[in-house]
Amino acid sequence: MPDISITQPHSLSQTDARAAAQKVADKLAREYGLQCKWEGDVLRFARSGVEGALTLGERQAALRIQLGFLMSAFASTIEQKVAESMRKTFTVA
C-alpha cells in the first residue's frame, strides 16, 4: 500500500496539540469518512482502503497514512490537502 508520511513541527502545549490533532481528525473524518479514536497520544483512523495514525510528540505531530489500491490513485491530492491542513492547524497564528 502507498504510504503518506507528514511531520509537522509545533510549539504547542500537549493539550493544545491534542486539540489541534482533533481538528485534523475531524476534517479527515468529514472529507474521507474515517472512523477515529485516541490511544494515548496516538490518534488512529481507518475506513475501507485507508488507515493511519497521527502521533503527537512534544515538538512535532507525525502523520502516517496507508492507502489501499483504489485510494492510491488519489495519493498526491490527499497528501497535499492533509499537509496543508496540518500546517495551518499546528502553526500558531
From the first residue on, what is the mean pLDDT of each consecutive set of 10 residues in the chain (93 residues)? 86 90 82 89 93 93 93 91 88 66
In whole angstroms, give the CA distance from residue 71 to residue 68: 5
What confidence score (pLDDT) does residue 2 get?
61
What confidence score (pLDDT) does residue 90 get?
87
SS3 of the chain: helix, strand, coil, percent, to 5? 40, 35, 25
What confidence score (pLDDT) does residue 47 get?
92
What confidence score (pLDDT) does residue 31 get?
80
Query: What is the per-residue burial (b if ≥16 Cβ within 10 Å, else e) of 3-20?
Result: ebebebebebeeeebeeb
What confidence score (pLDDT) does residue 92 get?
67
Residue 79 and residue 8 in contact, taking contact as beta carbons nearer than 8 Å: no
3-state secondary structure of 82: helix
Amino acid at 32: Y
